[in-house]
Every structure is written in C-alpha cells, then in structure tokens.
Amino acid sequence: MKPVSLIQFLIEERRAGHINAELSLLIEVVARACKRIAVAVNKGALGGVLGNAGTDNVQGEAQKKLDVISNEILLEANAWGGHLAACASEEMEDPQPIPDMYPKGQHLLLFDPLDGSSNIDVNVSVGTIFSVLRCPDDVVEPKAEHFLQPGTTQLAAGYVVYGPATVLVLTFGHGTHEFTLDREVGSFVLSRRDIRIPEATAEFAINMSNQRHWEAPMQRYIGELLAGTDGPRGKDFNMRWVASMVADVHRILTRGGVFYYPLDARIIAKGGSGKLRLMYEANPMAFIVEQAGGAASTGRERILDLQPTALHQRVPVFLGSRQEIELATHYHREA
C-alpha cells in the first residue's frame, strides 16, 4: 500500500469534515517544530544540550537545557503561523500571547514541550505532549481563564515520542492514529490507523517506590496484581515504568496495559492534588487513550469531565486498558 504522509492524512481529515483548514495548518506547524526538537534530542552530548539550564520552571522544578530549547522551538514555530490566539506551556507561568506583528487564529495550544526530561541525560525516551482548544469567540486577548475548558472540548491532542524512532500520535476525536518520522524524507508517515487498546491486560506501570504513601484502594488494587496466580485476580501481572509518560502511554497504545500516577499521602501533605498536570498531560493523554478504546480517570472521575480550575492544576492519572481502569476506579469510589 502507498505510504500516507501526515499532510495527506490532514487533507483527508479536512475532506471528511473532522477539522478545518486552520487546525490542519496548526498541526503541521506543531509537527514541524517537533521534528526540530527531535534533531536537538538526537544530537545528545554532541549538541551541548544535556544537563540543567540553571533555572526553575513555574512548578519550581529544575529546567533541563532541552526543556528550555523545546519550549522556545514550539513558541517560535507557532507565533507567526497565524493559527493561534495564544499558547500555554508547562514551562511558563502565564499564557503567551501572539505578538501583534503576526495574524491571530482561533485556537489555543497547550503543551508540555519535553515530558520525562529527567530521562534526557541517560538517553531514555522523552516526548512532547499537546492539546488544542478553541478560543472563545468574543475573546481577543486570551488569559489563563480562557484555557480552563474541560478535556471533552479538546479539538485535537497528540504527543511525539523521541525514542529509537520519532513517533507522532494524534487524535481529532475520530480515532487515534500513529505516524513515524521518515528521517531520510523528513516527513511523518502514517504507521497505524485507528489504534485499539485491548480491554484486558496483564501489564501495569506505576512508580512502586511510592507504595507506602498510596491510599488504601490503590494499595488493595496493586496488592492484588502483585499476588499473581495465588491472589484474587488469578493471573500473573508484569510491571514496567519508564518514568516518561509518553513512553509508558505509547507502550499501552502498542500492546495494552495500564498507567497509574495516583494521589498519595506525601503529595497531600504538601498540599498537592496529584503529580501530573491536567491541561497539557492528563487531558491530551486521556483524549488519545479514550479514542483508542481505553479509559482514563482520576480514580474517582473521568479525566475529560473535570472542570479545570488552574492552568497548571495537577491531578491523579489512571489510564489504559478499560477493564483494569474500571476496576481500580471502582475500588476508589467504593472506599
């Protein structure tokens, strides 16, 4: 079969009435920026891009040089494109307006420019996560409050994983699709259309070192998985934890599985509400996973139904194979 490029795919989506021309062009710009990030990531030590930038982001986390570079690449690429009203990033406290010298569009873009950045220096997969919303019609200069829309309103979501291959996963609410970067040609090529996550799985991803801090329902659920054939589940489960959400989610979209970053006593003691960010991590991943037949919850509610209260809000994240997410969520609701 003839390969389908991302551009061809976007044209098909426009013809099908799933997206408009502006959204199609916006995704092209994001994909082009991610190709530049891939080049910077791939250079590694030779590009002088490893290590800390010597600054902290809005969350008080030490920024890696590649966090800063990736953020700048995405901002610069999108500023002049004419498809955006504003963008917001994990690395910036407030949304970035589009400079007056450029035309403005109707979309809001949110991104985590380089997720899993603690993995950069050890040459393990990292990624970019993004979410696209519509700017409210009457708003000329969008502020943080205009981004606070539930995940169900997302027009598009995607991530790029910079691994052995650079892979883009994308949804417009009509299935989840995967594109692999052909480095020689320089374009993303459709590699899987309509990805489906199996409903059942025997593989889970969680940072087990936090076990002693988890709430009782999480202790119960993971305890049952670990009990294997002798426990109530009657089967053995395997565990994986890359510590890059993009890589863990990509494995789930490839062979099934579940990912958990639950609330725990340590997070609560610090006044927190989760580890992962709702607007540019949990929401886009939940949209992608649901469109592939999986489920995504906070343990209590469907992630996509949450009404956001802050741009950098954090939430617990459970996502992946439907049967497991439903069981873990059931244990939490019951408790």
Binding site for ligand AHG (CB under 6 A): 61, 115-118, 207, 243-245, 248
Find the shortest distance in angstroms from Cβ 249 to ligand AHG. Answer: 9
| Between 91 and 324, CB nearer to ligand AHG | 91
248 is in an annotated binding site: no
- DSSP sequence for 214-243: B-HHHHHHHHHHHTGGGSTT-S--EE---S
Q: Which of 108, 73, 103 is nearest to 91 (CA)?
A: 73
Instruction: With beta carbons less than 8 A apart as the criterion, state whether 196 and 322 touch.
Output: no
Tokens of 191: 């590699």
Find the shortest distance in angstroms from Cβ 89 to ligand AHG. Answer: 12
| Between 146 and 275, CB nearer to ligand AHG | 275
| Between 33 and 245, CB nearer to ligand AHG | 245
90 is in an annotated binding site: yes
Find the shortest distance in angstroms from Cβ 194 to ligand AHG. Answer: 26
Distance of alpha carbon 258 from the chain centroid: 15
Find the shortest distance in angstroms from Cβ 61 to ligand AHG. Answer: 6
Q: Name the 3-class secondary structure at 271.
A: coil
| Between 244 and 298, CB nearer to ligand AHG | 244
- DSSP sequence for 163-218: SSSEEEEEESSS-EEEEEEETTTTEEEEEESS----S--SEEE--GGGGGGB-HHH
Instruction: With beta carbons less than 8 A apart as the criterion, state whether 186 and 35 touch.
Output: yes
64 is in an annotated binding site: no
Beta-ladder partners of 64: 52
326 is in an annotated binding site: no
230 is in an annotated binding site: no
207 is in an annotated binding site: yes
| Between 111 and 331, CB nearer to ligand AHG | 111
The CA distance from 285 to 250, in Å, is: 10
Find the shortest distance in angstroms from Cβ 180 to ligand AHG. Answer: 21
117 is in an annotated binding site: yes
Query: If you ran DSSP here, which 8-state letter would residue 99 be given?
Result: P
| Between 26 and 126, CB nearer to ligand AHG | 126
The residue at minimum Cβ distance from ligand AHG is: 245
Q: Which residues are annotated as a binding site for Mg(2+)?
A: 90, 112, 114-115, 281
Q: Which residues are annotated as a binding site?
A: 90, 112, 114-118, 207, 275, 281
